[in-house]
A = this chain, B = another copy of it.
Amino acid sequence: MKPNEGRSRVVIEQIEPSVDAGRYPAKRILGDNVRVTAAIFADGHDHIAARLLYRHSSKKQWQAAPFVATTNDMWSAQFPVDMLGEWRFTIEAWIDHFDTWVADLAKRLAAQQDGTQDIPLALRIGANHLDAAAARAKGTDAEALKLAARSLHSLAEQSLAEYLMPISAETIALVASYPDLSFATKYPVELPLWVDRERARFSSWYELFPRSASEMPGQHGTLCDVAARVPEIAAMGFDVLYMPPIHPIGVAYRKGKNNAVRAEAGDVGSPWAIGAAEGGHTAILPELGTFTDFHALVSVAKANNIDIALDIAFQCSPDHPWVTEHPAWFNHRPDGSIQYAENPPKKYQDIYPLNFESADWRGLWDALYGVFKFWSDRGVRVFRVDNPHTKALPFWEWCIAEVLKSAPDTIFLAEAFTRPHVMYSLAKAGFTQGYTYFTWRTGKAELQEYFTEIANPPVRDFFRPNVWPNTPDILHAQFQVEPLAERRAVFQQRVILAATLSANYGIYGPAYELLEGRPAKPAPGKTGSEEYLDSEKYQLRAWNRNDPNSIAPLITQLNRIRRENLSLQRNENLVFHTVPNDNMLVYSKTTADGSNAVLVVVNLDPKAEQSGWLDLNLAALGLPWQGWFDVEDLLTGVVYHWKDQWNFVSLKPEVTAHIFRIMR
């Protein structure tokens, strides 16, 4: 069957950014100038024109931006995004007969001396184009175009020995502003784009257990204790303060210290065993304080430019009110009991998973959304979601979109340490940021490979990494070392990598800065436990933040460097440089305008000095291909005078890294 309009000759293909052909939105940040590229072409040799149509989805009217040709039928256009939320864009392209005519006329004029070029006829064709444009134009523009047409006609009447180009750049621009869209091709899909606030791209997270926040050893910490610590955390340079679940903790099957199957009297249990007589996901554990305390914490955080991040873990202790109020949301066994969490033969009887195949899935979805809405209404704009990969993906796509409707500045971090497709699918479904495999990528080759994957299309258009050297669940074997000097070198190395490889990073403290490396079980080789000994997941801890071995000063310095160097606040500019040493990792980030470039050289070996000749990609640093330049080590303030691409670096293990700023 013939199409409605067979004269739409232009083809539009390969639009970027697009995620799964427009099934999911690409992600950008407020204030970005979004660059859109596409293959746009037609049969033959006629000139083409194209424009980008874009709008915030709350508006009906499209705005337009012109495409310019780059190379080999590829075109590029840009549009600024000045509102949070969903945008849409698409492309319209058409044959530009006037522009074709102008180019042909120039060739005819250049060849007019051969005597075979009928210039007057060509001028009359041009006059017809101008008259047609005048008919599409309005007011004075129409008059100007009519005048230009008449001028061509009268020129065509004259028999000149030599004709000069009779069309001005102004006339060409005027015609272009009244394009003939009769046979324009409109791309059939409106591609979605989601715009987040800046913290979605650039954030520094500090995780702490409120229960351990008391200055009095042995005393249960409170939200007020946390509030008291906020200025110190802000001074360290963090802008997200994330707390494990603050809800009432179940009593049934409560776990004891070090994950003991049976709790002893006074054991505080796991914050992830959510729900007790006092309430569930919308209640606060009484030991932590009241809603008044919570609001005070959110306020002091806000005053310090810090977001409070809550941990949303959709699972229930057997004491959670939902267990009795909504039995349909749980899976029941033939004996009538509720199915607890299992990974046969292991059992987690203190946890009831929610059943996403419940007949009342709509009610369940509403309730889970209600949890986000509840805390959103109380000023929370950052949620770290526990194990989202064990909840149905269609639920997340719906729920996150619902939350963002009323609070488009909300950030969701997916705590999904699972297979790549599932992690990426959560990002596509709406999670703003995601945990990564960084925690287990320790070698040079695997770090380069992984960060190359996540810093480039297609992944970077939908997945924003948030990298953590440690979490309460993961004390990597690398950290479980003695002597102290070596352990400190590892802790330094990993936080430097996290803070400079990725614009979003976080640490679980104070365990991190205090170099906590004791595993729950001795870990010979790589087969040991990644659990902490005396984990805060099951007990209070008292941390000596005045420990002289604390690397808090280094972390403070890193966060300052991140704030002061715009290039470190994004990922798509990550470039690895070559050095013939498998224990040295070299990479840089440079702003698009070249005004800020940071080069990081890391010694991956905590035991020995490593050195090598860097083979710098000077273009990636915005430097000419040869010549002298200065680099300043932002950690020490020392300035080095370098030349051309080859430069020598040596790093003692206790120094760990140089973070060079390229000086101009």
Which A positions have Cβ atoms within 8 angstroms of B?
Answer: 1-3, 6-9, 11, 13, 20-21, 39, 41-45, 72-73, 95, 104-105, 107-108, 110-111, 114, 116-117, 121, 124-125, 128, 183, 333-335, 342-345, 347, 356-358, 361-362, 365, 389-395, 398, 419-422, 425
Nearest B-chain residue to A123, judged by Cβ: B334
Report yes or no: A344 in contact with B111, Cβ–Cβ below 8 A.
Answer: yes
Known A-B contacts A114-B345, A125-B333; the reply to A419 vs B108 at CB < 8 A is: no
Could you say which of B3, B39, B356, B362 contacts A2, with CB atoms under 8 Å apart? B362
CB-defined contacts of A104 to chain B, threshold 8 Å: 342, 344
Report yes or no: A121 in contact with B398, Cβ–Cβ below 8 A.
Answer: no
CB-defined contacts of A2 to chain B, threshold 8 Å: 362, 365, 398
Report yes or no: B422 in contact with A73, Cβ–Cβ below 8 A.
Answer: yes
Report yes or no: B393 in contact with A73, Cβ–Cβ below 8 A.
Answer: no
Nearest CB in chain B: distance from A71 CB, A:
10
CB-defined contacts of A121 to chain B, threshold 8 Å: 333-335
Known A-B contacts A111-B344, A334-B125, A393-B42; the reply to A361 vs B7 at CB < 8 A is: yes
30 interchain pairs, CB-CB under 8 A: A6-B356, A6-B361, A6-B362, A6-B398, A7-B356, A9-B356, A9-B357, A9-B393, A11-B421, A13-B20, A41-B425, A42-B392, A42-B393, A43-B356, A43-B389, A43-B392, A43-B393, A44-B389, A45-B343, A72-B420, A73-B419, A73-B421, A104-B344, A107-B345, A108-B345, A111-B344, A111-B345, A116-B347, A124-B335, A125-B334
Nearest B-chain residue to A353, judged by Cβ: B44
Report yes or no: A357 in contact with B183, Cβ–Cβ below 8 A.
Answer: yes
Report yes or no: B421 in contact with A13, Cβ–Cβ below 8 A.
Answer: yes
Nearest CB in chain B: distance from A430 CB, A:
14
Interface centre among A9, A114, A344 (most CB of B within 10 A): A344
Beyond A8-B394, A44-B389, 15 additional contacts (C-beta under 8 Å) are A1-B398, A2-B365, A3-B398, A6-B356, A6-B392, A7-B356, A7-B357, A11-B421, A39-B421, A41-B422, A41-B425, A42-B392, A45-B343, A107-B344, A107-B345
Report yes or no: B365 in contact with A6, Cβ–Cβ below 8 A.
Answer: yes
Nearest CB in chain B: distance from A624 CB, A:
29
The docked-state distance in angstroms from the alpha carbon of A419 to that of B74 is 11
The docked-state distance in angstroms from the alpha carbon of A398 to that of B7 is 12
CB-defined contacts of A389 to chain B, threshold 8 Å: 43-44
Nearest B-chain residue to A362, judged by Cβ: B2
The docked-state distance in angstroms from the alpha carbon of A560 to that of B32 is 61
